[in-house]
Amino acid sequence: KLDLMGNGLTGKIPHSLHQLVHLQELDLRNNKLEGSIPESIGQLSNLSTLKLNSNRLAGDIPESIGQLLKLDTLYLDFNELTGSIPGSIGHLPKLTRLNLECNKLTGAIPGEQARLTLLWEAKEGLRPPSS
């Protein structure tokens, strides 16, 4: 577990983060991190919790997040993320908590989500597909 919540961290999330192959929980929320979420985040195959909310992250959500098959919690809210929500999020079989509110995302949560049983925490016009 790596919990650096609320430490006033600045700069970018390092691409070398993928070297922490045994990491199960990553909590970097409530800092001042900028830049994009590195594509290499998808190499953290043991990750069950990813909390990057309440930073200044920008750019697209990387497709590689869909490789985190053990992920059950994904908090990306209160950033400046743009683009559409990647369809790869729909391939996360254990995902139960998802929060994407207060970003600049467009479109809807991908239709793949309809096959998942999720606790919906997505807000601001991002709603689960109707069944």
pLDDT digits (tens, 9 = 90+) for 42-98: 999 999 999 999 999 999 999 999 999 999 999 999 999 999 998 888 788 899 888
Q: How far is CA 31 from CA 15, 53, 117, in A?
A: 18, 9, 30
Report the chain's mean pLDDT, rounded to a whole number.
86
Q: What is the mean pLDDT of residues 90-112?
A: 83
Token representation of residue 78: 């209160």
Mean pLDDT for 2-17 is 96
- How does DSSP classify residue 32? E
Is 100 or 128 the better-scoring residue by pLDDT? 100
What is the four-CA torsion angle of 52, 55, 56, 57, rounded to 10 degrees? 0
- Is 117 a residue whose pLDDT tops 80? no
Q: Is the pLDDT of residue 119 over 70?
A: no
Instruction: Write down the pLDDT at residue 90.
Output: 79
d(CA 88, CA 73): 15
Amino acid 87: pLDDT: 84
Residue 91, sorted as left (phi over 0), alpha (psi -120 to 50) or beta, turns out to be alpha
Whether this model's pTM surpasses 0.75: yes
The larger pLDDT score, comparing residue 25 to residue 114, is at 25
